Structure 1
Amino acid sequence: MTTADTAISKPRKRAPLTPAMILSKASWVIVQIFLWLFFITVVFPMVWTLLTSFKTSAELFNRPWGLPATPRWDNYARAWAKMKVGTYLFNSVFVSAVSLFCIMALGSMIAYALARYDFPGNRVIYFTFIAGMMIPGWLGYIPAWFLHRSIGTLGTHAGLIIQYTAVSLPFTVFFLQAFFKTLPKELEESAIIDGASLFMVFWKVMLPLAKSGILTIAVFNFLGVWNEFMWALITISKDNLKTLPLGMSNLLEVGYYQTDWGAMFAGFIIMLVPTFIVYAIFQNRLTEGITVGALKG
C-alpha cells in the first residue's frame, strides 16, 4: 500500500464547532420554535375558524377538527342578513373611513407645522402630544364619557369618530413630525419662490414626499380604529349603530343566535376580510415606510 493510498483511506476529522457556529445553530432552533408557536397560536386558529364557517352546527360538534363534508355557503348569507353583519360592517367602514380622514388630515398639518415653523409654544405643543402617547387610553374613558354626554355625541357615530381621532392624533403627530423634519427644505423654498402659497407647498410638495410615511401611519390607524372595542362597548347601545367588533361580541348573548355556529363563524371571517385586504394592498408600502422611517430616524 502506497503512502497516497494510506492518506486516502484515513477518515477525515470533522472540524470542531466554533462558538459562532454553535450560536448560529442555537439561533436557528430558536427561530424555528417561535415560527411553530406563531403557527399554533395564530395561523391554526384562523384556518380552523375559516373551515368552521362552512360547517353546520351539528358537524362542528361531531367533527370539530375535520374538513367540512359539504361547504355551507349559506352560512355567510345568514350571517349577513339574520345576524346584521352587513349593518355592522357598514358602520365599521363608515366610522373607520371618517376617523382615518380626520386623523390624517389634522395629524399631517399639525406635524408639518411643528416640523417646519419655529413659533412660540412649538415645543410645548409637541411635548403635549408626546405626553398624550404616554397616557393609557382607558384612563380617559370616564372624563371622555361625561364630555361626550355634555356635547350630545354620546352613543353616536360622531362620538366614536371624535374619540378615535383624539386618541390617535398623538402618535400620528409624533411619527409624521419626525418624518417631515428629514425632508429637504430646498424644495419648499423653490416652490415659495415660484409663487406657491404655504398650503400649496404643503399639499403639492411635502405630502407627496412623505407618502410612504403617511401610508404607514394610515394603515396602523385604520387597523386600530377598525378593531377598537372598549369605547364602542361603553358608549354605543343601539343595535343599528354598533360597529363590527361590538356587534359580533353580542351574538352569543342573544339566545336564538347560539345554535347557528356556522353563521357566527362566518361573521367572524367577514370581520377579518377588510383587515387582510388592507394589508395585502399596502404591505409593500408598509414595509417601505417602516424601513425609511427607521433609516431617517
Structure 2
Amino acid sequence: MEKSVGQFLGRTGIRIPLILWTIAVLYPIFWMFLGSFKSNAEIYRNPWGWPEVFNFNNFSQAWSNYNIDTSVFNSLFVTVIGAVLTLVLAIPTAYAIERINFRGSKVLFTIYISAMMIPMVLGWIPLFFLLSKLNLLDSIIGLSIVYAVSQLPFSIFVLTSFMSTVPKSLEEAAAIDGMSPYGILFKVITPLTMSGIITVSIMNCIQFWNEYFMALIFLQTKENYTLALAIDYISNEAQYTNAWGTLFASLVIAILPVIILYIIFQRRIAKGMTEGAIKG
C-alpha cells in the first residue's frame, strides 16, 4: 500500500510540472488561433475570449492585401530547393567520408563537425558580398543555396552515422555483380539509410521554413520576401493600422504547415534521431 502511494505521488510530481509546461506552451498558440478569427474590435474588447463569429476575413486580407500568397510560394521554393540541394551535396559527401578511405577523410569530417560549432552569424557579411558579386543578392535562388550550405555539416553528421551501419558485404556483393560505385550509392546505400535521409530532410525543411535573419539580410524587395519577412512587415504595419487580426491570421498560415508536418512525421523524426544517435 505504501509502495503504491509512493509511486502515485512520484508520478504526480512528475506529471504536474509537465502539464503546466504544456499549458504554458499551447495556450499562446491557442490564443493566436482564436485571434485570427476575430475583428479588431473584438480583439480590443475581449482579447482573451472566444470570437463572436468565426470569420475568415483576416485570412483573405492577409492573402491578398499583404501578398502572403507570394511569400508562401517564396518560402516553399527556398524550403524545397534548399532541402533537395542539401541532400544532393550531403549524401555523396557522407558516403565518401564514411566508405572511401582517402587521405584527409578524417580531417575533412572533423572540419564539417567543427563547422557545426561556428555561429552562422560570422558568415553573414562575407556571404552578403559573395552573393553580390555573383548577382544572387535579393534572389530566392541565392538564398536557397545559402540555406543548403548552412545545413551541410548537420546533414553530413547524421547521414554518416546511418551509413556506418550498412554492412560492407552488401557493397562488395553489388560490386561483384558489376554495379558501379554510383549504383552502389544510390541503389544500395540510399534505400538502407532512408530513415536518416527522411529525418534530415524534415529537420532541414522546418529550419528553412522558419528562418528569418538570413532572409532579412539577403532579400531586399517585397516580391522576394519569405513568409517570415512578410509577417515581420505585417507586424510593423499593425502598430499603425491595427491589423492585429490579419497578423494573427498570417502567423497561423506560417505555423500550420510546420505543425501538420511534425504531427505526421513525429514518430519517424524521433526514431531517426534515436537510431542515428545509437548507431553513430
In structure 2, what is the Cα distance between the partners aligned to 1:143 and 1:181? 35
Does residue 52 of structure 2 align to residue 69 of structure 1?
yes
Does residue 20 of structure 2 align to residue 36 of structure 1?
yes
**% of aligned pairs identical?**
36
In structure 1, what is the Cα distance between the partners aligned to 2:135 and 2:93? 27
Residue 36 of structure 1 aligns to which amino acid in structure 2?
L
Does residue 235 of structure 2 align to residue 252 of structure 1?
yes
- Residue 116 of structure 2 aligns to a residue whose secondary structure is helix
Alignment-derived partner of residue 82 in structure 2: 99
Q: Report deviation, 1:119.
A: 0.6
Q: Report deviation, 1:27.
A: 6.0
| Count of aligned pairs between the two proteins | 280
Contact 1:129 1:170 in 2 (8 A): yes
In structure 2, what is the Cα distance between the partners aligned to 1:256 and 1:21? 53
User: If you compute each CA radius of gyration, which structure gives the higher value, 1 or 2?
Assistant: 1
Does residue 74 of structure 2 align to residue 84 of structure 1?
no
In structure 1, what is the Cα distance between the partners aligned to 2:217 and 2:9? 50
In structure 2, what is the Cα distance between the partners aligned to 1:270 and 1:223? 14
Alignment-derived partner of residue 214 in structure 2: 231
CA displacement 1:180-229 (0-9 Å, x = unmatched): 01111111111111111111111111111001111111111111111110
Q: 1:161 aligns with which of 134, 144, 159?
A: 144
Residue 142 of structure 2 aligns to which amino acid in structure 1?
G
Q: 2:109 aligns with which of 110, 126, 130?
A: 126
Q: 2:168 aligns with which of 173, 177, 185?
A: 185
Residue 214 of structure 2 aligns to which amino acid in structure 1?
W
Contact 1:252 1:258 in 2 (8 A): no
Distance 1:37 1:256, change over 3 A: closer
Name which of structure 1's ranges 222-231 and 187-196 shifts more when overlaid on structure 2: 187-196
Does residue 175 of structure 2 align to residue 171 of structure 1?
no
Distance 1:283 1:255, change over 3 A: closer
CA displacement 1:113-142 (0-9 Å, x = unmatched): 111010112112111101111101111111
Q: Report deviation, 1:105.
A: 1.4
TM-score normalised by structure 2 residue count: 0.94
Residue 213 of structure 1 aligns to which amino acid in structure 2?
G
In structure 2, what is the Cα distance between the partners aligned to 1:252 and 1:272? 16
- Residue 268 of structure 1 aligns to a residue whose secondary structure is helix
Contact 2:238 2:247 in 1 (8 A): no
TM-score normalised by structure 1 residue count: 0.89
Alignment-derived partner of residue 271 in structure 1: 254
Residue 16 of structure 2 aligns to which amino acid in structure 1?
Q
Does residue 271 of structure 2 align to residue 288 of structure 1?
yes
Residue 110 of structure 1 aligns to which amino acid in structure 2?
T
Alignment-derived partner of residue 241 in structure 1: 224
In structure 2, what is the Cα distance between the partners aligned to 1:26 and 1:137? 43
CA displacement 1:222-258 (0-9 Å, x = unmatched): 1111111001111211000000011111113237973
Residue 267 of structure 2 aligns to which amino acid in structure 1?
N
Does residue 131 of structure 2 align to residue 148 of structure 1?
yes
In structure 1, what is the Cα distance between the partners aligned to 2:120 and 2:15? 34
Contact 1:54 1:68 in 2 (8 A): yes
In structure 2, what is the Cα distance between the partners aligned to 1:229 and 1:25? 44
- Residue 191 of structure 1 aligns to a residue whose secondary structure is helix
Q: Give unmatched runs, 5+ long, in structure 1.
A: 1-13
In structure 1, what is the Cα distance between the partners aligned to 2:84 and 2:125? 26
Residue 60 of structure 1 aligns to which amino acid in structure 2?
I
Does residue 245 of structure 2 align to residue 262 of structure 1?
yes
Contact 2:212 2:229 in 1 (8 A): yes
- Residue 151 of structure 2 aligns to a residue whose secondary structure is helix
Alignment-derived partner of residue 218 in structure 1: 201
In structure 2, what is the Cα distance between the partners aligned to 1:92 and 1:274? 11
